[in-house]
Chains A and B, each alone.
Chain A
């Protein structure tokens, strides 16, 4: 098994996630893209763990999963409150604050 390919895949997923956050205007989709970035990092850590030996990287992914779950709880509650208020989750509609 060559871990490099997994790291390349992780990098591609991470880049896709970043582009998703930047481009998509729906808060839910943007949030899903962030989750994709977190999971890309998980993949990279598992691959590196395999390459370097040792369990650190694999254990770390569990921490990341728990953190991601907590983030979902907070994120969805914020997005739902916004949706109830505005009947939309578009980030362009949320524009009371300007530079």
Chain B
């Protein structure tokens, strides 16, 4: 029997992940020792300091040119990892800030006073009366964020699986903690948990088969085994299909999208904003890394499969979005269709001689989608009536007259989702379609263009309602504090910037789009 060697660990290079983890652990300490009245603000400070420190360390590493396969082959620090980490940290900071909004709902956050109490019970009323709050949501979100960072950088299947769970488990809890409509929220948590753990089990079994095929969990080991297989091809294909199920579930692609609308609606809106972009970004990163690096030589087997998934994801997402009347459900189906557009790029450019183009297109698309998503869900938390958030789109009528600035920002975000020229969404869509076209999937590009034309109707409908319909009695855009208005402002401005001046960001994502093998 061979011994297990002492692991080496590159602390400096991995410091950004460590900073987020340390902030999360400190958050637990705060829960234990700080007086109740102080906890909420201390947690917010910890989140901001932790994430800004992580960003600073990331920038330091970037300019020091630190790249490499770290931690005994577990984590690959390369161009895409830098981009993904930076994006995750920025989107994470913006969307976790929204958790801290307390001004719009009588000084209380969007989370239940006591998530363990039975809805409508005496215990709930007492906790609410005493103004208790779950400030644990901040460390939970940070743990999830650290899992996402490791997931998209994992260069080893065991690391990927553990990171997948670290990212998902806190999200299952967070989605069950809404203050209002708690039954819905708990049900969303149950649904998300059961389907999520089912999909991780698929991922795990696929991983076991991939290990059987190659004798290694390491992506480079799998790549080597694909070149010189010991076992038959069927084992590898089965492994790829099972792992794709797990990954596509997290991305929210059809036919594994059933949880998306339900969980997005049931979860507290700030949590929805957090997972809508961060989970998707991390999962797309992990998918691209696995399929490009580990089984890139087998692309003839997986390309048709992913192409089929991309096609039905775009079509189903857009068609179902057309008939939605609830803004959160509409955004959920829109996020399903965006998953399809991203997968178009995953399918495409691996065929081209220049793999850089596909990863750059994916990153640009995710950046444009991410800024718009963070702002969109922050905006949803603000549109309220007496009963809480007024999520029915009919309630959004006429908001453009009462608050033209925020409604205008939301209109920009919707235009970016729709991919109208001069917004980031347009450049993003153009990039993914170009990548697929070069990769020889022109039929998929044609389908994608048609789907995005139909999708534009979905978003324009909301804009028309906001600006050209008479206002509804009792609904208004609440006056949020900076933690909500900053994400909206940043999201809207970034959507315009990415559309008007794509050059600098495009150079950045193109320059840092090569996976380390």
Contact = CB atoms under 8 A, between A and B. Distances in A.
A75 B211 contact: no
B197 A71 contact: yes
B176 interface: yes
A74 B212 contact: no
A97 B262 contact: yes
B220 to A, nearest CB: 13
B266 interface: yes
Contacts of A40: 205
B118 interface: yes
Contacts of B215: 48, 52-54, 56
Contact of B194 (A34, A38, A85, A96): A34
Interface in A45-89: 45, 47-49, 51-57, 59-60, 63-64, 67, 70-71, 74-75, 77-79, 81-82, 84-85
A56 B217 contact: yes
B188 interface: yes
Contacts of A59: 4, 158
A71 B173 CA distance: 11
Interface string B407-451: 000000000000000000000000000000000000000000000
B197 A81 contact: no
Interface residues of B, number: 45
Q: Which of A21, A37, A74 has the most CB of B within 10 A?
A: A74
B162 A63 contact: yes
A3 to B, nearest CB: 8
Contacts of A64: 161, 204
A41 B207 contact: yes
A16 interface: no
Q: Is the interface of A mostly helix, strand, loop or mixed?
A: helix
B86 interface: no
Contact of B186 (A38, A41, A56, A78): A78
A85 B2 contact: no
Contacts of B216: 56
A13 to B, nearest CB: 10
Contacts of B191: 94, 97
A56 B211 contact: yes
25 contacts: A21-B198, A31-B197, A34-B194, A37-B198, A38-B201, A42-B208, A45-B208, A45-B211, A55-B4, A56-B211, A56-B215, A56-B217, A57-B211, A64-B161, A70-B165, A74-B169, A79-B190, A82-B187, A85-B183, A94-B190, A96-B183, A97-B188, A97-B261, A97-B262, A97-B265
Interface of B: 1-2, 4, 115-116, 118-119, 158, 161-162, 165, 169, 172-173, 176, 182-184, 186-191, 193-194, 197-198, 201-202, 204-205, 207-209, 211-212, 215-217, 258, 261-262, 265-266
Closest CB pairs A-B (n = 9): A48-B212, A52-B215, A37-B201, A44-B208, A97-B262, A41-B204, A41-B205, A41-B208, A94-B187
